[in-house]
Homo-oligomer: A and B are copies of this chain.
Amino acid sequence: MPSLTRRQFVTRVARFGGAAAFAAMFGLELLARDRGGFKLEGRAPRGRGRRVLVLGGGPAGLATAYQLRKLGYDCSLLEARQRPGGRNWTVRGGTAETELGLPAQRCGFDAGQFFNAGAMRFSHHHRTALDYCREFGLELVPFPQFNEAAFVHVDGQPPRRIREFSADWRGHVGELLAKVIRRDALDVPLTAEDGEKLIAYLRAEGRLDASLTYPRNGDTSLDPTYLDHPRGYTVGPGNDDGPGTPTAPESLEKLLRAGYGTLHPYDHELNEQSTMLTPSGGMDRLAHAFAERLGPALLYGREVREIRRTADGGVRVVHTDAAAGGDAQTAFADFCVVTLPPHLTARLQTDFAAPTLAALRKGRGEHAGKIALQFKRRFWEEDDDIYGGRSLTTQPISQIYYPFDGFGARGKAVVIGAYHMSDPQGIFSELTLPERERLALEQGAKLHPQYPAEFDNAFSVEWHRVRYSEGAWIAWDNPADYDVMQRTLSEPDGPCYFAGDWLSPITGWQAGAFVSAHRTCARLHARATAL
């Protein structure tokens, strides 16, 4: 779950507890620690052919079925779609999708082009996810999340490079604080010597001159034999046979009043710190790697309708052929692991206990979406020096993500022309398909005037309208709801267990799904082998 949502969310909720409170809340004994939170590999495969039904073939369901089979269970996975992965979904030329209430959409990308419509990158510290890539031999490439050359755009003003604002913030903040320290106006326990060390640091970080001023003419290079202005140039070094023309800073007042502070990408969220990674060729390589290993245990087109307990303590699941609308079938098992989105599980016919049902209803599917735009050439690279990463704008499109691969190639390429989050007003998520495309092109053109001439075709995904997901991730209206969901659904309801990124401390990331899946496998296995 990226930062914009989080920020918007934070404005609505009070600060809540700390790490210790959270740990106490779970009230669980500490299990053996490993790279995925739970040590599964060392466990004896004593599943002894007990039957487990896993419902939902997203990352949590895929990992659950994969691990339980390793542990010796007779495990089947029921997936409603005709593909594995859930919100791990890579769209390519020919991909078809019909969102709820909208006409069918068919992707017109050229061969080799793709769009990670859901999950698109891993954090470098998301070990569960990266270990699966290693185990399956997937090639990982860097995903350049943060790009100093990309734009920050406040609607109504020209787009600016991220580096311009990051240099200005460092300069202005450093100047203010350095001058205060030098004047000894600081009511903090800093010795004079430490104060001077801090000034030296602020000078270097902010490129302040000897008078501790951030040079207003932009001349911030430290070395005359190696010109280097962190804020960038209007004319680059060597052009015009000269050393280049540095850009001039914005005043602090202008930065503050224009609202750049709220868009500034330096929020340093741990999950988005460099280096981020992604599978070469599309995120769905990971989903398909699981699917290959599951083989016929993964059943496609099976839409779950009922989850019922049986008299012998097992579980009965009624499912239908989603595509053909065929007759309902019934499957029996000793255990069931439900990895469907909780708000969709709550709608099924079940005999879950009342607290379970209440907990399932605590989360809602977030309105977030992306639109992919295929362009005829890589003008963001060729004209604007932008290689990967994202631009930010106050417009509803929110973010533009540039391709993370194929740098310098000629020919067509796909940009994510909008990645908006938390859209309760429906600015984007209630539009028709042509309206989405028009809005993305209009708003994107304010950052990239090349849009109209270079546009080729589009494919959009609004996740709250995507059947079987109905949300980009789970959001909670207050921390208490989150608390109830985590606490309640971490326990099984009879033979039924739950797993998903929404049931982990890493919501909205595949690593969360894997952590949750591993925990559920460990607990199910502990119970089954104690029987």
A residues contacting B by CB (< 8 A) are 1, 6-7, 9-10, 13, 15-19, 22-23, 26, 28-31, 33-34, 36-38, 124-125, 127-128, 130, 133-134, 137-142, 144, 146-149, 163, 166-167, 169-170, 173-174, 176-177, 179-180, 183, 185-188, 190, 194, 197-198, 200-202, 204-205, 209-210, 217, 219, 222-230, 232-233, 235-246, 252-253, 256-257, 261-262, 264, 266-271, 273-275, 277, 382, 385-389, 404-405, 407-410, 475-476, 479, 482, 504-508, 511-512, 515-516, 519
Contact = CB atoms under 8 A, between A and B. Distances in A.
Contacts of A137: 410
Secondary structure class of chain A's binding surface, majority of residues = loop
Given A223-B10, A277-B407, A205 B267 contact: yes
11 contacts: A15-B210, A19-B219, A34-B239, A124-B147, A125-B385, A141-B141, A144-B144, A180-B185, A185-B187, A201-B261, A275-B388
B185 A273 contact: no
Contacts of A198: 252, 256, 261
Contact of A224 (B16, B209, B266, B515): B16
B144 A274 contact: yes
A512 B238 CA distance: 8
Nearest to A149: B124
A38 B241 CA distance: 8
Given A6-B226, A7-B222, A9-B223, A519 B256 contact: no
Contact of A142 (B9, B18, B388, B511): B388
Contacts of A167: 268
A478 to B, nearest CB: 9
A146 B238 CA distance: 26
A515 B147 contact: no
A408 B138 contact: yes
A142 B387 contact: yes
A163 B267 contact: no
A264 B137 CA distance: 35
Given A144-B144, A225-B507, A273 B163 contact: yes
Closest CB pairs A-B (n = 9): A238-B515, A16-B224, A237-B505, A201-B261, A140-B407, A148-B273, A23-B242, A37-B238, A225-B482
B243 A275 contact: no
A124 B387 CA distance: 7
B408 A130 contact: yes
Nearest to A511: B238
Given A10-B222, A227-B506, 13 more contacts: A19-B243, A19-B245, A22-B242, A22-B243, A28-B242, A33-B235, A163-B270, A169-B205, A170-B268, A190-B252, A197-B256, A228-B270, A237-B515
